[in-house]
């Protein structure tokens, strides 16, 4: 059996407490916004990458959409399956790394929200190849002209926040826009070393284009403050809305 990555270990241990995070409290409004921008047909299909405990997946299913949730963490998926059962909805759950999955179905839309996968780097992951692999996998699962919504960490805010001393200490790599830290998945547990990647709008346009996805909008995407609005330089997240126009290169 393949050894678990640090992120898999982190989320398996964090699963019981995930819904306590402040950014999980706006699910209804977030799904309203997703439906506004995705142009889904009634009963359409949605691929949720890095679905976690399934808070968006379950709400979409409750509104009549066919949802597939993909996540690295079996413990997070188990929580999602329990939530779906309680809500009496059917969701297809897939335990897989977002950089290395393939599905036979073609979807009407895809989402990857709250850093569910995109930019969560494994110990040996390349800061370009990891996000590009995820985008390519998502693109191959989409119907022509299908839309996607991603929220990703804001690299502009990282550059404004970190200092040269952080670079010297190894906690921030300005060349890859990568933060390195050690976080306990919950109180009382040992910290786990993780790496997170930020992005700037120009490279997001290029990465999405290489995956056959034309960017329609780049907006402020911080949880609890989604909207068709300009990016605040210091906010946590960027939202990317794109449409499938080709195939991954």
pLDDT tens digit string along 164-179?
A: 999 999 999 999 999 9
Residue 85 placed within a domain: yes
Across 15-29, 59-73, 113-127, which has the greatest mean pLDDT?
59-73
Among candidate residues 242, 244, 46, the one with its CA nearest the CA of residue 145 = 244
CA atoms of 51 and 102, how far apart (whole Å):
16
State which H helix or E strand residue 36 sits in: helix 27-38
139, 211 in Cβ contact below 8 A?
yes
pLDDT given at position 78 = 98
Alpha-carbon gap, residue 33 to 227, rounded angstroms: 8
Give the CATH number, domain containing residue 88.
Answer: 3.40.50.150
- Judge whether 176 lies within some domain: no
Evaluate whether 62 touches 94 at the Cβ level (below 8 Å).
no
**Domain total for the chain?**
1
Q: What is the pLDDT of residue 19?
A: 93
Helix axes 74-87, 55-62, angle to 10 degrees: 30
Predicted local distance difference test score (pLDDT) of residue 3: 77
Starting at the edge strand found earlier in the chain, the sheet holding 213-220 runs 91-95, 66-71, 45-49, 107-112, 142-153, 237-244, 213-220
Domain assignment present for residue 57? The answer is yes
In a domain, 187, yes or no: no
The closest alpha carbon to 73, from 107, 110, 117, 22, belongs to 117
| Tokens describing residue 21 | 């995070």
What would the mean pLDDT of 218-229 be, rounded to a whole number?
94
Specify if 186 maps to a domain: no
Is the pLDDT score of 82 beyond 80?
yes
Under the banding of pLDDT at 50, 70 and 90, the label for residue 67 is: very high
Arithmetic mean of pLDDT, 197-226: 97
Is the pLDDT at 249 greater than 90? The verdict is: no
Domain extent, residue 122, equals 6-152+200-244
Q: Per the structure block, which two tokens stand in for 29?
A: 């409004």
Q: Is there a domain that residue 161 lies in?
A: no
What phi and psi, each to the nearest 5 degrees, are found at residue 199?
Answer: -140, 155
pLDDT at 1: 40
β-strands 107-112, 142-153 pairing = parallel
Question: What is the pLDDT at residue 12?
Answer: 97
Whether 173 is covered by a domain: the verdict is no
């Amino acid at each position: 059996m393949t050894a678990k990555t640090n992120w898999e270990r982190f989320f398996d241990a964090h699963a019981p407490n995930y819904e306590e995070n402040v950014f999980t409290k706006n699910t209804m409004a977030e799904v309203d916004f997703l439906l506004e921008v995705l142009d889904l047909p009634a009963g359409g299909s949605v691929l949720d990458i890095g679905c976690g405990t399934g808070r968006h997946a379950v709400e979409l299913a409750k509104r009549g959409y066919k949802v597939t949730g993909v996540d690295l963490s079996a413990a997070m998926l188990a929580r999602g399956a329990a939530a779906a059962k309680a809500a009496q909805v059917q969701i297809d759950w897939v335990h897989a790394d977002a950089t290395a999955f393939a599905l036979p179905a073609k979807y009407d839309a895809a989402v990857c929200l709250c850093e569910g996968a995109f930019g969560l780097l494994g110990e040996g992951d390349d800061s370009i190849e990891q996000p590009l692999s995820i985008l390519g996998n998502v693109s191959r699962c989409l119907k022509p002209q299908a839309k996607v919504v991603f929220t990703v960490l804001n690299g502009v805010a990282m550059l404004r926040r970190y200092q040269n001393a952080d670079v010297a200490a190894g906690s921030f790599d300005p060349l890859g826009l990568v933060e390195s830290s050690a976080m306990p998945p919950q109180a009382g547990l040992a910290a786990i070393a993780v790496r997170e990647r930020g992005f700037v709008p120009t490279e997001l346009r290029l990465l999405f284009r290489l995956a056959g996805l034309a960017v329609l909008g780049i907006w402020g995407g911080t949880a609890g403050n989604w909207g068709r609005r300009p990016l605040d330089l210091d906010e946590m997240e960027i939202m990317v809305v794109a449409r499938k126009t080709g195939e991954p290169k």
